[in-house]
Amino acid sequence: MNEKKILIVDDEPRTLNGLKRTLEKWSEGQHIIICCDNAHAAIDYLQKEPVHLLITDISMPEMTGLKLLDTLNKQSRLPMVIVISAYSEFEYAQEALRLGVANYLVKPVGKDKLIESVEEALDKQEDLMKTKVIEKMVDDHLIKVNRNDSCSRSIREAIEYIDEYYYADLSLKKVAAHVHLNPSYLSTLFKDELKLSFVEYLTRVRIQRAKQLLLTTDLNVTEIAEKVGYSTPKYFNKVFKEQEKVTPSGFRKK
């Protein structure tokens, strides 16, 4: 499992230190465990540093754990959450579940139960991140093209050729020669059958592949530009921003 940040929030020093010791022993240095003794401090921290998992007590002075979650939710900063409470009342659990918590634990929390809940929450967080990555990479236009069973054989062959060799110096003329058609006629087929021009389709394929590389590798923008068929990072940046409304670097940070 990759390094994760876990934030623990509890106003009781003994409980806070106990939770921290348990998780530090469990993580064996693989994860970062941060502690805050009140909700305001947690909000201040999360405004600067995102975390993968938040473990918070419900009953705290000034701001309760539920109010903390509600505030973070409104700020779109709510990570995966485990709530710990001395109360098992239904309304507390119901409100916590409404806010999307991964688990609701009642004190005293045993070490095994805590670790089990943390592992489950981090697994959920990992799955959620994978889903978000997939959603960011998806191009609805390309999905429609791939689901279009009415495409002619020539267009299907052209699509397969582009999908395989998008990184090469492709042109309408080269693809037309591959499918044994006149370039002008192939251009018309693209517009009629896919509602996209040849250049638009090629660009979408290249940008989708670029998004995959931005989100799943540490390659820099120049390297990615070369891998998806752009000779200069400047032109790649221009095309990417035109299509995604954000630069490649900005997309990676989102």
Domain ranges across the chain: 5-132, 140-253
φ and ψ of 56, to 5 deg: -135, 145
Q: Going by C-beta distance under 8 Å and a sequence separation of 6 or more, which residues neighbour residue 50?
A: 5, 77, 79
**Burial (CB count within 10 angstroms: exposed 0-12, middle 13-18, buried 19+), residue 10:** buried
pLDDT tens digit sequence for 204-243: 999 999 998 988 888 999 999 999 999 999 999 999 999 9
Confidence band of 90 (pLDDT split at 50, 70, 90): low
Which residue type, as a one-letter code, is found at position 223? E
Please report the pLDDT score of residue 133 as a whole number. 67
- CATH superfamily, domain at 140-253: Homeodomain-like (1.10.10.60)
> How far is residue 206's CA from residue 147's CA, in Å, rounded to a whole number?
19
Please report the pLDDT score of residue 128 as a whole number. 81
Domain covering 5-132, topology: Rossmann fold (3.40.50)
Please report the pLDDT score of residue 137 as a whole number. 67
Give the predicted TM-score (pTM) of the model. 0.60
Q: Helical H runs in 49-88?
A: 65-74
> How far is residue 44's CA from residue 193's CA, in Å, rounded to a whole number?
53
- Chain CA centroid to CA 186, Å: 37
pLDDT tens digit sequence for 118-150: 999 998 888 887 777 666 667 767 777 766 778
Tokens of 171: 């042109």
pLDDT tens digit sequence for 65-76: 889 998 998 887
